[in-house]
Amino acid sequence: MGFSLRFFYTVDVDRIAAVHKKTGKKGVSMNGTCIVFGLLFLTAGILFFCGKIHGRLSLWKNMPENERQNIKIRPLCRNIGFLIALSGILFLTAGVFAWFLNYAFVWAMIGWMVTAGLDVLYIGKSRRYQVK
């Protein structure tokens, strides 16, 4: 017997429909929530990547000018923007594909958190984002 994603999708839809029928539950499901968060994070990530948001952050506004000049903000924004957009893509995928939400979403988010943590360590330890 071969592996089929369609099989998992059919099983999930049938199981969810049975639960909704039994409980009489209607309305927005987790899929809708994931789609909304996915769109928000994807938009924020793209705006960070393009360098449109960092100037609006209060921490950046209140930073002394000499400290601002020591930071290479463009590559830092691209790095952070990519990570935020990646989480948006994960949420959108979970909202669109029921099998991803049920079987892989938790592991994907754990992987994303580990990656984000390692990235924060890299940003703090490397001199890539500092003007020499």
Is 120 within a domain? yes
Tell me the C-alpha distance between 36 and 42, whole Å. Answer: 10
Please tell me the total count of domains within the chain: 1
Is 10 within a domain? no
Is 71 within a domain? yes
Is 14 within a domain? no
0.75 surpassed by pTM? no
Written as six digits, the tokens of 67 are 């400290």
Is 16 within a domain? no
SS3 130: strand
Query: Taking Cα atoms as reference points, which of 39, 17, 12 lies closest to residue 95?
Result: 39
Is 96 within a domain? yes
Query: Taking Cα atoms as reference points, which of 46, 34, 27, 1 lies closest to residue 108?
Result: 34
Is 46 within a domain? yes
Q: What is the pLDDT of residues 42-79, one digit of tens each?
A: 999 999 999 888 878 888 888 888 888 888 889 989 99
Give me the domain span that covers residue 118: 29-125
pLDDT at 1: 45
Length of the chain: 132
